Amino acid sequence: MNLILIKESDFTAENLVEISDFRFEHIKNVLKAQNGATLKIGLVNGKIGTGNIISVSGNNAIVETAFDRNPPAKNPATLFCALPRPKVFRRVLLNAVCFGVKEIHFFQAFKVEKSYWQSPFLSPDSIDKTVENALMQAIDTVSPQIYFHKSFKIFVEDVFAPKAQEFPCTAFHPTDGIKKTSPPLDATGAKHGFVIGPEGGFTDYEIDMFLKNNAQSASLGERILRVEQAVCAVLSSGYSGN
Please tell me the CATH code under which domain 4-69 is placed.
2.40.240.20
pLDDT band of residue 178 (cuts 50, 70, 90) is very low
Q: What is the mean pLDDT of residues 142-168?
A: 97
Mean model confidence pLDDT for the chain: 90
Q: What CATH class is the domain 77-238?
A: alpha beta
- What is the end-to-end Cα distance of the chain in Å, rounded? 25
Q: Are the C-beta atoms of residues 112 and 70 closer than 8 Å to each other?
A: no
CA dihedral 168, 137, 108, 85 (to 10 degrees): 140
Q: Provide the whole-model pTM.
A: 0.89
Question: Which runs of E-coded beta strand occur in the chain?
Answer: 4-6, 16-19, 38-43, 48-56, 61-69, 77-82, 103-107, 145-149, 169-172, 192-196, 216-218
User: Considering the chain, what percentage of its residues have pLDDT values greater than 90?
Assistant: 79
Q: Where in the chain is the domain with CATH 2.40.240.20?
A: 4-69
What stretch(es) of the chain map to CATH 3.40.1280.10?
Answer: 77-238
Q: Is the pLDDT of residue 4 over 90?
A: yes
Q: Which amino acid is at 190?
A: A
Give me the pLDDT at residue 223, please: 78
